[in-house]
Amino acid sequence: MSETGQSWHLEFKAHPAEAHRVREWAASRLSHPDAAQVANELFVSVLASGTQTVEMTLSTAGRRARITAAGSVELKLHHSHGPGLSIVASLSTHSGVNTDGCGLWAQLTLKDET
C-alpha cells in the first residue's frame, strides 16, 4: 500500500520573535496536538547556532508527520542535545540530527481520522 502525503517549506528569520509564527504555522498544517511545541523546540535549537535563517519543513506520509528545522551553521553539541531536545524526544516517536549536522528533525504519529 502506498502512502500519500504533503510537504510544506518555509524560511524564517533567525530571530526569537519568529518562534510564534513557527508554532502557528506548524499547528495550522499538522493535526498532531504536539506539532507546535515540537516545531518551536527545533526552531529555537537551530536559532541558537547563529544561523541567519531557519528553514522549516513539515511533511506527512500516511500517519506520520516529520518536522525539520535547518540552518547554515553546524550545531554545537549543546544545541543538538540540549534541554529542548529532551522535550522533543518525549513528544515524538523518533528524532535526531540532520546528516549535515546543521539541523534537527522529529517524527510524530498522527491519529486516524475516522
pLDDT tens digits, one per residue of 52-104:
999 999 999 999 999 999 999 999 887 677 788 899 999 999 999 999 999 99
pLDDT of residue 114: 41
The angle, 0 to 180 degrees and rounded to 10, between the axes of the packed helices 35-47 and 83-91 is: 150
Please state the pTM of the whole predicted model.
Answer: 0.91
